[in-house]
Amino acid sequence: MKVLIVEDDDEKGEHLNQFLRDRYINIEVATARSLQSGLRFITTSSPDLILLDMTMRNYDRTLDEEGGRPHAFAGREILRQMRRERVEIPVIVVTHFDRFGEDDNFVTLNELSSELKLRFANYRGTVQYKSNVDDWKPSLSLLVGSILKMKDD
Amino acid sequence: MGKNAIASKHQHSTERVFARARATITASGNIRTGLSRYKSNADPAELRLTVPMFATHPAYKSLVWPCPKPPTYSKLGKAGLPGYASLENEIIWGVRSLLSWGATLVTFLKLKDQADQFYLTGEIAALNATIFEMERSCGASLWLAELKIAAWEAVQSGKDDGSSGRNLAHTDGMHPLAQFIITWFAFRAKRNLSAQEFLRFVERVAPMSEDATSGLLHILSGLCPTLTVDQAAQIVSYAEYFSAIDRYLILRSTIQVLIAGGIIPDELRQSLLMELRALEYAVEDQSISRMIASLGKKLNRRPESKIPIEVLNSYTIGNYSKAQQDCDKLLLEHFDIEILILRQRCLVYSICKFQVQDFSLNPVNHETCPANLIAQDVARIVNFERDGADAISRLSKMALTCNNACWAASLNLFLTRVRNDDRIGQPTRQQVCWALRQSVENPSLTFAFESFSGAEAYLEWAYPGALNEVAGQAVLDLIHPDSPTTLIRTETEPHRWERLQALRSLRNHDAQSAIGFIQSQFVESVPRVIRIEAGLLLAESYLRSREYQKCADVCADLFLEAPYTDRLLPISDLTDRLLQASDDLSVSDPALLGQLPVVIVFDLFCRLVSPLREAERADAFKDFLRVQNVRVASELTREAVGIKRAHLIYFLRKICVPDVLDQSLALASTRSVEDERANVLLLLSDLTTEEGKPPAPEITEELRSIRTKQVVRETTFQLDQSRVYVNVEGVKRTLGLGMRETWQHYRLMLLHGDLEKHVELQKLIRNLVGSRLIVSVGGAIAASDKLLLAMLQEVRDLFATSKEFGLDANLSTNVRHGYIMRELRGPFVTRQLVTNKSTEEGGYKLNVYWLERHLEDCGGETGELSDALQKFTKEVDRVIEHLNRNVIRIRSDTAPEGLFWLSFSETHLWLMRDEVISIDNYEEFVELVLSRLWSMTYQCLDAIQTYLRGPVRQELNAALAQLQQTLSKLTPTEAVSALTVATNLVRPDINSAIERVSSWFVPTAESDFADYPLKIAYEAALATVRSYFRDLDMNPNFSDIPGALLAGPTLPTFVRVFSILIENAALHSGISRGQLRLRGETSCDGDQLIIAVVNGLDPDLERLSLIAKLDRVNSGFNREGAEMAIATEGGSGFPKIWRLLTHDLGRKNSLRASLTDTDELEVLITLDARGIVR
């Protein structure tokens, strides 16, 4: 199975990568670190599953690239673009946060999850990640398991 | 029975009813309560009889209505009866109470009309006299307060800024409700507050609630709220607090709102009509008659004020000049907004150019006369001028300020019809309400009343026989498809007839026919205003016929020809439907959104309506490029098929901007987005040149700005890669003759290496070298090694620790002088996660940002959170301080943890000895030693990078984890949640900061800087300092020597000099937030280059101690001062400037810091410019 992790926090990305490798055999993991590189990967490759961060910069950050604009809802934008291009790869949102945006755009994680569920058929659920607590692992495992099962069926 | 007998019988009967009612009230034990109950429980028919008697009876009248004519504002407002009755009983109670004040109200309405006229025409003296007369005859009132405030603000140019209105609101003794309302009037009239802002404010601060005061406030504020029958009853009941004229106006406005909202229950309708008729009979108010007519009832009394049908006929048949002349005559008699609008339209159609007309009765007030201002703005709107939107905004404010004047309603109706034409769609509630409040009758009001079946009755009342008039037929033709149209067909201009038919078709939901009628008018050859009006109708027709791309095309054309039309076009509806159509497709089709006009429409939506569709705008942008088969916009050819040139220019100029371009997958970095924007600007420039015009200045300015930004970024990046360096030439110079001689002797020792000559050789060495040589000669080989070691140590010492040229001095200037601290601390500061210390030795300040939020949320203890944040700050600073003070050091006894370990071991010695044997040239020897030192330095750089990516990253992440752990145990508040988000958001930022700092620890890049204007160095420095002081707004205000370029190799030095100066300004100006005035200036005086950096100072900054500091700085700007401070961090950094200019640049220089006459701090640097300024 080919999994794409779209994540700009290297430490979190590495944890997710490690988690997938530890738990599943024959898994191939690729990483993208921004909204644009995530979209580019999705449109040029065909992963079987996407683990998607929500808040990211426009471009991958490097020494001579600040990363461009920050997007509070980069993950949602990737899902929207996938729908626009009729790409139906299952997506699990994995986020540190329990709230997103500011002022008029502010939403809680629960509200955002409800919105994603309503708008995007390929959205399979959200896992709240914590760097110092491992309770995200069973949740993620459950969601990945259900996707694998559907794939097998 | 005779009339007198009947009247007498009726009177006896009324008296009996009144006596019975009194008995009931008296029986209740409390007259006030009894009256209130009676109002609620009495039969409406009985109330009609008894209320006038209660209202005039000495025992009851003060209870029924406490203060109908307040002698002063201190008596304005007094509570009436407790509670409220049904709407029907409240209206009867109110109307019948007012009847006894009929004469006063008649006087009031006449004076009110006079006052409005004086106000509009700028007759201040007459206006003041009328206000005085009204106060005398009608008493104080809310209405008069509103007029006074409006007069102060508008006619007297707002010189007192509404303070007089506020003073009125603070009148002692005035009822709080009256004070509250007058305060709102004063606030509403403030010049710097737009109508939109005020209405948003009302919605936010006093939204409609069940409490009737909000309804009362909304009505008096010019809104048409949605009322329930119960709320309306309460508002009518509240009206008895106020004077007769206020009570009348509140009652009238409330009924207008009820009619407009269509919420009058059938059972109330007849009763309401009866009351309106009674009121009309007593007060002779045309707006009451209009309400009755609009409710479908016939009236004998005809309107006194209306636009004469003859004038309307002239207008309709296209005799504009006659119509305009008639309007002018009418306006001089009585200034009515409806007639003014007709006049301005006549001018548009006849000559398409406006004549300025002075409506001011007093030439002194020509400029500020409201009538003139209104006339000018109406002209801007009907002529679709560029500033039409501003005109709408100004007129809306003017109408809002005088909301209770009839002319304000006329103006409001005109303004809303511009955007919502009730001839082709439903009028809004607010429009109907304003139509009911007009000052003058006008056939076009018919459209507002049609929704509640009052259209024909209204027209019959206001314009009997209209059926036989061309103007009447023009209205009826739209309402009734079967009405006769002979006159319209034969007498109106063809374009007007076609337009009427298009309107009629749209009204009858036949958009296709409408398109057929109107599209021939949307062509170049048709006069501008007619074409634009046709375009607006055509856009609506295409939208209704679901031809979205054609609709978009018309919208784009119209907007580009008359930008003001953006407010009038169906942009929101069109984008909604385009997106729906896109969603409905089973397969994605770029052709749907990928049309240039569609892209322009999405852009207009983002600019005018909401930024929420920026992503969809980018989608349309990308689809358009896909359809055009190009990768990026700059590849579009100007001959691209199917693209209108005007559309292309708008697209390139306004849509191909970084925020849209960065959504293209063809562009993978900020740099590529900038390059693409620059290419787009070049294409735009070519397009302009092709038209024989020079490129627009904003295009060349933007191009220059992009290039400057890129050079600055590249320069900053290159400088970051060259922070670690040694002035090798300086080191070589310092080694000088002594080292050269030592080298010669060392060579000699190697050549005469036999033991026999050892003693003689030793003598020779001692004589030549003397005590400078630290040699303990045990044998010939040991002696030469020791000599070699001494030479190596000497080079090493200069390389590592020379205060002028050495590595440590550069590390101090370029790395440790606050840069590490700010770079690594910066992300935490940005997210408010750390605080500063109050003083160098003191403790950390409380993190007020988060503590206050937490306190607001939970209202409880913040101690635990405060401790956690302080502990976090302390740990972050400990990690960074340790790195800065202990790790990025030349290792020595005083810095045992320093990772720059530059030391020659025995192994080094052996290796060097083997290599040196084959060298017979001193220069080669020095190069060899320096290259060994560089090799060691590179290893140290690797070690520092490893340290940063290892322990530093781990420790900072551990501190964050610890903070998050603590947060997870605290009461879960909004603030704690937001703080947790901040701790997560900061992680990638910190990683980036660590990577950035790591990137400094690389061998200095061989940079070949091009010659540059000094401004580049200033901006590069500013860019760096800005990133550390994000709360300060520092403008890149720099005046360069025109045409002068500095030698490329000097760029790093000048950037460093400016960095120190700008950073000093940011750190020591006393200004920590907001605007920091900053400017740089350069000039040449003979061979001298003069650089000045000037910054503003906080007014509270203690000047005496600053002057003392400046004295110290000035006197210490020399070699001694520099040597004392060069290896230490902190302070002004001026010694470092001395070293940079003296040693890195090799220039004689001077520096003087002083306070200017304008109380700014100026640092003036003068240096020898020969050879560096070209």
User: Would you call B585 an interface residue with chain A, using a CB distance cutoff of 8 Å?
Assistant: no
Which tops the pLDDT comparison, B85 or B1033? B85
Question: Which residues, other chains included, contact B469 with Cβ-Cβ below 8 Å and sequence gap of 6+?
Answer: B309, B312, B313, B463, B487
> Looking at beta carbons, which residues of chain A come within 8 Å of B978?
99
What is the model's pLDDT at position B364?
Answer: 52
In a mutational test of the B interface, the residue from A16, A65, A128 whose CB has the highest number of chain B CBs within 10 Å is: A65
pLDDT value, residue B81 = 83
Q: What is the spatial distance between Cα A66 and Cα B695, in angstroms, rounded to a whole number?
A: 32
Residue B829 amino acid letter = V
The reply to whether B6 touches chain A by the CB within 8 Å rule is no
Asked if residues B80 and B55 have their Cβ atoms less than 8 Å apart, the reply is no
pLDDT at A104: 77
Token readout for B373 is: 């201002």
Confidence band for B249, pLDDT divided at 50, 70 and 90: very high
Percent over 70 (pLDDT), chain B = 91
User: Which residues touch B999 (CB under 8 Å, ≥6 apart)?
Assistant: A63, B720, B721
Most confident of B548-557, B812-821, B845-854, B1129-1138: B548-557
Lowest mean per-residue pLDDT among B134-148, B199-213, B1026-1040: B1026-1040
Examine the pLDDT at B676 and tell me if it is beyond 50. yes
**Residues in CB range of B849: below 8 A, 6 or more apart:** B832
Report chain B residues whose CB lies below 8 A from the CB of A61: 988, 992
Q: With beta carbons under 8 A apart, name residues in chain A contacting B980.
A: 97-98
Residues paired with residue B494 on neighbouring β-strands, in sequence order = none
pLDDT of B773-799, one tens digit each? 444 444 445 678 888 888 998 999 999
**Beta-carbon-side half-sphere exposure of residue B1052 (alpha carbons within 13 Å):** 22
State pLDDT tens for residues B1081-1123. Answer: 999 888 899 999 999 888 888 888 888 888 888 887 777 766 6
Confidence of residue B765 (pLDDT cuts 50, 70, 90): low
B710 contacts chain A (CB < 8 A)? no
Report the predicted TM-score, pTM, of the whole model to 2 decimal places: 0.79
Predicted pLDDT of residue B355:
44
ipTM: 0.94
Q: Provide the pLDDT for residue B774.
A: 41
Q: Please say if the pLDDT value at position B7 is more than 80.
A: no
**Alpha carbon distance B1093, B1162 (integer Å):** 6
In this complex, which of B713, B977, B987 lies closest to A98 when CB atoms are compared? B977
Which of B657, B665, B676 is the mutation pick for testing A, counting most A CBs within 10 A? B665
In tens, the pLDDT along A72-101 reads 999 999 999 999 989 999 999 999 888 888
Nearest chain A residue (CA) to B976: A98
Calculate how close chain A gets to B1013, using CA atoms only, in Å: 23
Q: Do B662 and A86 touch (CB under 8 A)?
A: no
Question: Are B964 and A131 within 8 A, CB to CB?
Answer: yes
A78 and A58 Cβ atoms separated by less than 8 Å: no
Per-residue tokens: B809: 């001095």
**Quick one: pLDDT at residue B1122?**
64
* Chain B residues within an 8 Å CB radius of A63: 717, 995-996, 999
Which of B670, B954, B964, B980 to mutate to probe the A interface, most A CBs <10 Å? B670
Contact B987 A11 (CB under 8 A): yes
Over residues B1057-1062, the mean pLDDT reads: 89
Confidence band (pLDDT; 50, 70, 90) for B155?
Answer: low
Q: Is the dihedral of CA B744, B750, B754, B759 positive or negative?
A: positive
Q: What span, in angstroms and rounded, lies between the C-alpha atoms of A144 and A92?
A: 8
- Burial label, B754 (beta-carbon count in 10 A; 0-12, 13-18, 19+): exposed
**How many Å lie between the alpha carbon of A68 and the closest alpha carbon of chain B?**
6
Confidence band (pLDDT; 50, 70, 90) for B412? very high
Q: At residue B353, does pLDDT exceed 50?
A: no
Q: How confident is the model at residue B452 (pLDDT cuts 50, 70, 90)?
A: low
H-helix or E-strand containing A5? strand A2-6
Mean pLDDT within B937-963: 94
* Most confident option among A36-45, B400-409, B1133-1142, B1155-1164: A36-45
- Whole-number Å distance between alpha carbons of A65 and A61: 5
State the pLDDT at residue B352: 47
- From chain A, pick out residues whose CB is under 8 angstroms from the CB of B670: 59, 65-66, 68
The per-residue pLDDT of chain B, averaged, comes to: 86
User: Pick from B588, B713, B961: which is nearest to A85 by CB?
Assistant: B588
Residue B1105 contacts A where some CB pair is shorter than 8 Å: no
Average pLDDT of span B672-689: 92
Residue B361: pLDDT above 80? no
**Which residues make Cβ contacts (< 8 Å) with residue B778, sequence separation at least 6?**
none
Residue A144 has pLDDT above 90, yes or no: yes
Mean pLDDT of all residues belonging to chain A = 92
Give B272→chain A minimum CA distance, Å.
44
Contacts of B981 in chain A (CB under 8 A): 96-99
Among chain A residues, the shortest Cα distance to B671 is held by A65
* Per-residue model confidence (pLDDT) at position B766: 60
Lowest mean pLDDT segment, chosen from B234-243, B572-581, B1002-1011: B1002-1011
For residue B689, the model assigns a pLDDT of 82
Confidence band for B511, pLDDT divided at 50, 70 and 90? very high
Q: What is the mean pLDDT of residues B862-873?
A: 89
Q: What is the DSSP string of A98-135?
A: SEE--GGG-EEHHHHHHHHHHH-TTEEEEEE--SS--T
Closest CA relative to residue B471, chosen from B294, B319, B295: B319
**Does B665 lie at the interface with A, CB-CB under 8 angstroms?**
yes
Host H or E run for residue A2? strand A2-6
Q: Please enumerate residues of A whose Cβ is less than 8 A from a Cβ of B.
A: 8-12, 36-37, 39-40, 43, 55, 57-59, 61, 63-69, 77, 80, 84-86, 96-99, 130-133
Per-residue pLDDT reduced to its tens digit, B315-344: 998 888 899 999 999 998 999 999 999 999
- Token pair listed for B420: 């919502």
Q: Does B991 touch chain A (CB under 8 A)?
A: yes
Cβ pair B615:A69 closer than 8 A: no
Residue range B260-264: mean pLDDT, rounded:
86
Residue from the list A57, A86, A132 with its beta carbon closest to the beta carbon of B587: A86
Highest mean pLDDT out of A27-41, B80-94, B201-215, B1068-1082:
A27-41
Interval B700-706 mean pLDDT:
87
Query: Is residue B769 very low, low, confident or very high in pLDDT (cuts 50, 70, 90)?
Result: low
Q: Does the pLDDT value for residue B945 go beyond 90?
A: yes
Residues B1030-1040 have pLDDT tens digits of 777 887 788 88
Q: How many other C-beta atoms can be found within 10 angstroms of the C-beta atom of residue B543?
A: 21
In terms of Cα–Cα distance, which of B15, B95, B429 is closest to B273?
B95
pLDDT at B1071 over 90: no
DSSP helix/strand/coil, B578: helix
Q: How high is the pLDDT of residue B434?
A: 93
Question: Tens digit of pLDDT for each residue in B625-656?
Answer: 999 999 999 999 866 767 899 999 999 999 99
B958 touches chain A (CB under 8 A): no
User: Which of A69, A84, A99 comes nearest B981 by C-beta?
Assistant: A99
**CA B788 vs CA B20, B753, B763, B767: distances in Å:** 131, 14, 18, 18
Contacts of B618 in chain A (CB under 8 A): none
Q: Give dist(CA B601, CA B945) in Å, integer.
A: 51
Minimal CA separation from A152 to chain B, in Å: 27
Phi and psi of B534, rounded to 5°? Answer: -65, -40
pLDDT of residue B622 exceeding 60, the answer is yes
Of residues B672 and B912, the one with the higher pLDDT is B672
User: Of the candidates A59, A97, A130, which has its C-beta nearest B670's C-beta?
Assistant: A59
Exposed, middle or buried: residue B132 (CB in 10 Å: 0-12, 13-18, 19+)? exposed
Across B810-830, average pLDDT: 86
pLDDT score for B172: 86
CA distance B365 to chain A (A): 45
Q: Do A59 and B713 touch (CB under 8 A)?
A: no
A97 chain-B contacts, CB cut-off 8 A: 980-981, 984
